[in-house]
Amino acid sequence: MVVELDMELQTMAAFLTRQIDGLITRPIRLMEVCGTHTVAIFKAAIRQLLPAQVELVSGPGCPVCVTPSRYLDTAIAYSREKGVIVTTFGDMMRVPGTDSTLSEQRAAGADIRMVYSPLECIEIAKSNPLKRVVFLAVGFETTAPLVAGTILTAQAAGVKNFFVLPAHKRVPPVLQALLSNAGVQVDGFLLPGNVCAITGEQPFEFLASQYQIPAVIAGFSPLEILQAIYRLAKQIHAGEARLENQYKQVVRPEGNLTAVRILNQVYGEADTDWRGLGCIARSGLVLRSTYHSFDIRTALPVTVPDRPVHSACRCGEVLQGKALPRECLLFGTACTPEQPIGACMVSVEGACAAWYQYGSWRWQG
């Protein structure tokens, strides 16, 4: 399915496309960090609108995609424990661990429940006082404050059987890690407006000041994305590098101070693993000592052995912009949305799933 724009929007899109075309004098690679941007770009056929010299690549902005197999193996191990209810957002259900998925475990009888908000878990915990309720806390700065608020709510209500399995990650450190990798070539970044709505602008200023790479905080409509690409093209054409905010109606320079305060109250920074990317310094969020009792690993430790991942899966390279999904030998054959091997094929925001669903592997072959 491709989104069709009405006549006025088509006119504006055509104008922006002409402006971009007039600014491009060499091939450039732009990375959209956010998985929501990836899907929006495909649905609006933005790649087809842009000059051939503009290449868009997907980055590590899908939280499901960057969650390591070991985390899934740990979640599965908890689902097998007696007296445990595992709760999760729906997009985690089919993410492959090394030998199973949460969906398969639920089919086998494990009590695994999909929720739309971690706050639902408090009511589940109250209704099941003799069981431990574990929420899979996966996501970036967008969802971490909500989980932090849920922990504070559970603490205030005296709910002792609610726990989280933390896997929250921070976006700025992974971008810094990418740019420190000699194999990654990016001329500009489309930054996630949803993340920046929480963090504000400052955490991303290093892209321009330290690495001299233009960056634009972008909204999610087709026109907002085209506007952001135009701003990047304009900076590149002028030989400039700065952080711009195209999404000012949502993103304030200081961010959401209340959300940041709650986040910093409950979480601290730590080194953490990213699927396909390895361990990245200070890129994870862990519960502070005051809230360790809410970490299920403290209340109920489990042992999960290290297991190798599928050697042919190139999900890690896709997440770094080093490879396109269609360049993976498994793509569209052994690895499909129905039978995914890599996490990038599972999530609706995953680059491989977007390429497969919207047919780009066919028209760019």
| The predicted structure's pLDDT at residue 111 | 98
- Residue pair 161/129 in contact by the 8 Å Cβ criterion: yes
Give me 183's structure tokens: 């194999």
CA neighbor of 44 nearest in space, from 350, 358, 318, 353? 358
| The predicted structure's pLDDT at residue 4 | 55
As a whole number of angstroms, the distance between CA 223 and CA 207 comes to 24
Is 140 exposed, middle or buried (CB count within 10 Å of its CB: 0-12, 13-18, 19+)? Answer: buried
- Residue pair 229/30 in contact by the 8 Å Cβ criterion: yes
- Residue pair 94/346 in contact by the 8 Å Cβ criterion: yes
Give me 64's structure tokens: 């499901």
Is 50 exposed, middle or buried (CB count within 10 Å of its CB: 0-12, 13-18, 19+)? Answer: buried
As a whole number of angstroms, the distance between CA 56 and CA 40 comes to 12
Give the pLDDT of the chain (365 residues) as one tens digit per residue. 555 557 777 888 889 999 999 999 999 999 999 999 999 999 888 999 999 999 999 999 888 889 988 999 999 999 999 999 999 999 899 888 888 999 999 999 999 999 999 999 999 999 999 999 999 999 999 999 999 999 999 999 999 999 999 999 999 999 999 999 877 899 999 999 999 999 999 999 999 999 999 999 999 999 999 999 999 999 999 999 999 999 999 999 999 999 999 999 999 999 999 988 899 999 999 999 999 999 999 999 999 987 777 678 888 888 888 888 989 999 988 999 888 888 888 888 889 988 888 865 444 44
Its sign, for the CA torsion 235, 240, 241, 242, is negative
As a whole number of angstroms, the distance between CA 129 and CA 109 comes to 20
Neighbour count for residue 355 (Cβ, 10 Å): 25
As a whole number of angstroms, the distance between CA 146 and CA 166 comes to 13
The amino acid sitting at 280 is: I
List of domains in the chain: 69-170+255-299 (3.40.50.11740)
- Residue pair 146/117 in contact by the 8 Å Cβ criterion: yes
| The predicted structure's pLDDT at residue 11 | 85
Question: Residue 104 contacts by C-beta under 8 Å, 6 or more apart in sequence?
Answer: none
- Residue pair 198/257 in contact by the 8 Å Cβ criterion: no
Give me 295's structure tokens: 């970490």
28-32 and 54-58 beta bridge pairing: parallel
